[in-house]
Amino acid sequence: MSKVAVLGGGSWGTALALTALRAGHDVALWARDAAAAQAISAGGNPRYLPDIGFEAGIVATTELGEALAGAKILLASVPAQALRSVLESASPHLPAGAPLVLCAKGIERDTGKLLSGVAAEAAPRNPCATLSGPSFATDVARGMPTAVSIAARQDELAAELAAQLSTPAFRCYSTTDQIGVEIGGALKNVLAIAAGATIGAGLGASAQAALVTRGFVELRRIGAAFGARPETLMGLSGLGDLMLTCSTAQSRNFAYGLALGRGEDLSGRPLAEGVATAGIAARIAEEKSIEAPIIAATAMIVGGRMSIAEAVESLMSRPLKAETD
Ligand SMILES: NC(=O)C1=CN([C@@H]2O[C@H](COP(=O)(O)OP(=O)(O)OC[C@H]3O[C@@H](n4cnc5c(N)ncnc54)[C@H](OP(=O)(O)O)[C@@H]3O)[C@@H](O)[C@H]2O)C=CC1
Ligand SMILES: O=C(CO)COP(=O)(O)O
């Protein structure tokens, strides 16, 4: 049994802390909000996991030093756009050499960096890994069967983290294709917004299937440009997470798209990482001359620069081509 420290007191940080607890570790969690930390220690997270009571045992605190002291595995579960600042604050307390597992899904908006690139700059003394795959925090917190990928460049590190974090209900597969796992997790959020918007705008299930399938082609093109392995993107953190989050309003990204498509007020909604990732993903595709019209249209819709009707018109009137081009 060793100590696992989790950064982030939201739904995913809490669910992963519970998994680590159930895997037999001592678990500390850092949350910036004192009331949240107190509630998590007592067995609840009323803001982010309402209606889910869980076992006590997580030691949650607002003190980074306390949470991180002596930890052998670090899980970073704050939103992607907050990762750099949280790691910079945590930096003096990060136990040197302890693997840092990145659990957020996104691309840094200001720099276009994958989160492993952010971690390399903000936490250079910690070997970095990525955990991603189809896994709703509510399902994981309830102990329902779930499978994810854990990726690290070093095979032994990925396998060791998978062994340390797996439980009978949380099955971690290991891989060395960290970039592929990161790209899959980040871009599926953009496509989940697009899928939700398709349904919200009343365009139908056929349009939804076409959009997700052709969006997946774009995801794989972008992945290939980053050096991701095709089989990774066909796995849990690509296809698997698309299947989950492009099909149900349980996904916050899909629900965001649904509200967008219905013309509802979008203020005050839960976190939808694809909103921040859409614009930067579209910019990366453009800079690398990668054909990604669905991601580009999603970025423009999310940014208020295109209506859904205009996007449909633009996507459907593109020149005909072979499906595999
Ligand atoms: N929820 C899920 O099912 C899954 C989520 N993920 C990924 O996990 C990541 C985190 O999402 P999730 O936990 O769901 O989000 P939530 O909205 O549930 O929680 C976000 C947490 O991050 C904290 N936070 C936000 N900004 C900052 C900041 N600048 N500094 C410190 N803490 C901050 C919030 O604190 P406060 O309350 O004080 O604002 C809150 O505790 C995302 O990238 C998401 O894609 C991955 C798989 C599943
Ligand atoms: O990434 C997730 C499940 O794998 C969670 O999706 P949402 O952030 O869209 O809720």
Whether ipTM tops 0.90, in short, is yes
In angstroms, rounded to a whole number, what is the distance separating the alpha carbons of residues 74 and 27?
A: 10
Pick the ligand that lies closest to the CA of residue 256: 2
- Which of these is catalytic: 3, 72, 113, 188? 188
Residues in the chain: 325
The two beta strands, 128-132 and 146-152, are: antiparallel
Work out whether strand 73-76 and strand 59-61 pair parallel, antiparallel, or are unpaired: unpaired
Question: How far does residue 132's CA lie from ligand 1's centre (Å)?
Answer: 14
Q: What DSSP string describes 263-278?
A: T---TTPPP-HHHHHH
User: How much is the pLDDT for 325?
Assistant: 82
Q: Which tens digit of pLDDT belongs to each residue from 197-210?
A: 999 999 999 999 99
| Residue 44, number of CB atoms within 10 A of its CB | 18
By the 8 A CB rule, do 96 and 125 touch? yes
**Of the residues 189, 191, 248, which should be mutated to test ligand 2's pocket, given the most ligand atoms within 8 Å of the CB?**
189
Asked if residue 134 has its Cβ within 6 Å of ligand 2, the reply is: yes
H or E segment and range at residue 311: helix 308-316
Residue 32 DSSP label: S
* C-alpha to C-alpha distances, 107 to 156, 182, 185, nearest whole angstrom: 26, 9, 10
CA trace torsion 99, 100, 101, 106 (10° rounding):
-150
Distance of alpha carbon 162 from alpha carbon 287, whole angstroms? 35
Per-residue DSSP letter, 51: E
Domain range 187-316, CATH architecture: Orthogonal Bundle (1.10)
**Confidence (pLDDT) at 92:** 98
The Cα–Cα gap between 43 and 21 comes to 12
**244 C-alpha to ligand 1 centroid (Å):** 19
Clarify whether 113 is annotated catalytic: no
Whether 142 and 52 have beta carbons less than 8 Å apart is answered as: yes
Q: Given CA atoms 46, 50, 54, 59 in this order, what sign does their dihedral have?
A: negative
What pLDDT digit, counting tens, does each position of 134-163 carry? 999 999 999 999 999 999 999 999 999 999
Query: Ligand 1 mean position to 154 CA, how many Å?
Result: 27
Do residues 68 and 92 make contact, with C-beta atoms less than 8 angstroms apart? no
Residue 131 has pLDDT above 90, yes or no: yes
**Which residues fall in the annotated binding site for NAD(+)?**
8-13, 137, 252
Q: For the chain, give every domain's residue range.
A: 3-176, 187-316
Which of 105, 131, 149, 256 best tests ligand 2's pocket when mutated (most atoms within 8 Å of CB)? 105
Range 143-159 burial, b when 16+ CB lie within 10 A, else e: beebbbbbbbeeeebbb
Quote the ligand 2 centre to 322 CA distance (angstroms): 32
pLDDT top residue among 283 and 325: 283
Q: Which residues contact 129 (CB under 8 A, 6 or more apart)?
A: 99, 100, 101, 102, 150, 151, 152, 157, 158, 161, 178
Mean pLDDT of the residues in the chain: 98
Q: Which atom of ligand 2 is least distant from the CA of 271? A: 8
Q: Cα(199)–Cα(256) distance, rounded to whole angstroms?
A: 11
pTM: 0.98
Whether 245 lines ligand 2, by a CB cut-off of 6 Å, is yes
| Position 1 pLDDT exceeds 80 | no
Would you state the CATH architecture of domain 3-176? 3-Layer(aba) Sandwich (3.40)
**Nearest-angstrom CA–CA distance, 257 and 188:** 13
What digits encode the pLDDT tens for the residues 37-72? 999 999 999 999 999 999 999 999 999 999 999 999
Q: What percentage of the chain exceeds 70 in pLDDT?
A: 100
The finding on whether 252 has its CB within 6 A of some atom of ligand 2 is yes
Do the domains 187-316 and 3-176 match in fold? no
Residue owning the nearest CA to atom 6 of ligand 2: 251
Distance, first Cα to last Cα, the chain: 51
- What pLDDT, on a 0 to 100 scale, did the predictor assign at position 161? 98
Q: Does the pLDDT value for residue 287 go beyond 80?
A: yes
Task: Return the SS3 of 240.
Answer: helix
